Amino acid sequence: MRQLATVQRVGEKYLTGSPKFKRNRAEQAGLRAKIEALNALIGDTAPMPVPPPPPEPPTLAHLEQDRARLADELAAHERRGAVREGGKRRFIRYAARRAELQARILRLEAQLAYARARRRTPA
């Protein structure tokens, strides 16, 4: 059980759809099968709860839409500026929100680049 939890925790850092992500999911499935087999040998007939299947990786169009939406949100945030934030620490809040939006955009751009590269290479 601890081994399965460790594999699940490690798998959280992989990009959805990447080869490492797929290998991790296969390893998780293998460990679940072993645990169920051992439970059956011990006499525990209650099946292990099966988690819902992982969501399908987002399509290229969805990633592009999300990136455009975040870019628009960042542009609007920059137009409003720090004055809109109000309070003593408005510049800090403005910069933090701006950095957060930029980081989310960069992550989406990395996912887009990966999805485009996967689409170009034949499987």
pTM beyond cutoff 0.75:
no
DSSP letter (8 states) at residue 122 = -
Tell me which DSSP letter residue 83 carries.
G
Tokens of 105: 């955009």
Angle at 70 between CA 78 and CA 55, to 5 degrees: 160
Instruction: Give mean pLDDT in consecutive 10-residue pieces for the chain, a chain of 123 residues.
Output: 77 81 89 82 67 81 93 93 77 92 95 86 64
What pLDDT score was predicted for residue 82? 77
What pLDDT, on the 0 to 100 scale, is given for residue 45? 57
Query: What pLDDT, on a 0 to 100 scale, did the predictor assign at position 57?
Result: 76
pLDDT at position 96 is: 92
